[in-house]
Structure 1
């Protein structure tokens, strides 16, 4: 075998992650992942800057805590589904620029039906700096493992806005929390009373499972949790890579 052929035959090895970050799939492969900013199924309608791979990356301590959450949920035939984890700082800058670009499509408006996207920054739904960039914050939901998976997201379909009944809004293959993910609306506030008793129970189930392992929910977003005491960590801006096994 020639030298070039020998080099080509050696599998590529990904560079180690910095700052005690880990791939969540290596900590607990049973936790489902749908990293929404790595594709088109999100409020910007495209891949967001810095998401080279659709991978959940977190600080090691966060990953170990999520593994314990998952273990507790298995007895209820439930699973976590990660929607966003570590977020490069460049992604937050991309979001801010998008919110201020003066354009808004109908598909984008599904995520903020009550006001224009220019208001997202002022109202605190988009920030120049995000706790996600420290690796200590996550967005996630629950999957009922006994339920049918449901239809896949169709980027060409005109779905109802994120506050509509689950059958009308974009499918997410998860339990019905009362709104879709990244819904900038009061109905997405964790303690909202504008949802059904069953939807409220799902939110309470998620909140209780996460709080038992030290996570704290952000009151405006039922899906957002972080670890207290880690807020002083440095923000990072390395791109989310593809996993070495891909």
Structure 2
């Protein structure tokens, strides 16, 4: 999810982190399983804020080591079905969550932002549990992800000259994501984005169930308001604020 509100969280600020040295048992997911597709959206302008978030200095998935190993196991299972995980967000610096807070309070709401929040004003996203100032992502134990059908044509790219529909529209009308059709786009703050939403098609529901089941077999728990958000109970701990830096080969 964009953020999961947790009542008490200790934020450990690490003033610098080298590209090869990560604190607290964190690892680059590419070092654990390079076959898992990554599209770290908060390191780009292709997200609900419309720009890279604070602390995302590289589009790299960083996770706790246990989380990475379990994701590798999920990926190995999916590979036998010509499927792959695609990561949208992993570890999130605490400063990025505060960046979201500032965004929600800036008094503006653009058409591009409304694509992600078609029915909910951005000022209401905190009260409704879609964004919080403290995120479980900052512990390294929460993830945003989807499935990719490796047999399908996933080559569609965003056309900047095109006016896309909001995240609840049919897949052909909304921003392309190169993944299976889960019924909404990623980060869609709408009832249709709830995992068990009754308004999606039978096929879309089957894809969601397939993702939830594959993740559950490795101990991951889905957040009911966001089909894309999963966490691994017991793998978190303190929150961190070190920036995501480029990974050295």
With the shorter chain as reference, the TM-score category is: over 0.9
Q: Distance in 1 between matches of 2:77 and 2:244?
A: 28
Tell me whether 1:126 sits opposite 2:131 in the alignment: yes
Q: Distance in 2 between matches of 1:150 and 1:170?
A: 13
- 1:67-82 alignment runs, 5 A limit: 67-82=72-87
Match of 2:3 in 1: none
Cα deviation for residue 156 of structure 1 reads: 4.6
TM-score w.r.t. length of structure 2: 0.91
Change in 2 beyond 3 A, CA 1:15/1:73: closer
Conserved in 2, the CA contact under 8 Å of 1:150 and 1:171?
no
Q: Distance in 2 between matches of 1:155 and 1:132?
A: 30
Q: Distance in 1 between matches of 2:238 and 2:103?
A: 25
Q: Distance in 2 between matches of 1:136 and 1:114?
A: 30
Q: Distance in 1 between matches of 2:50 and 2:19?
A: 28
Match of 1:242 in 2: 246
Conserved in 2, the CA contact under 8 Å of 1:40 and 1:155?
no
Cα deviation for residue 155 of structure 1 reads: 4.1
Match of 1:175 in 2: 180
Cα deviation for residue 230 of structure 1 reads: 3.0
Ranges in structure 1 where 5+ consecutive residues have no aligned partner: 1-12
Whose relative contact order is higher, 1 or 2, with alpha carbons under 8 Å and at least 6 apart? 2
Match of 2:149 in 1: 144
Ranges in structure 2 where 5+ consecutive residues have no aligned partner: 1-17
> Across the two proteins, how many residue pairs are aligned to each other?
232
Change in 2 beyond 3 A, CA 1:38/1:156: farther
Match of 1:103 in 2: 108
TM-score w.r.t. length of structure 1: 0.92
Match of 2:29 in 1: 24
Superposed CA RMSD: 1.0
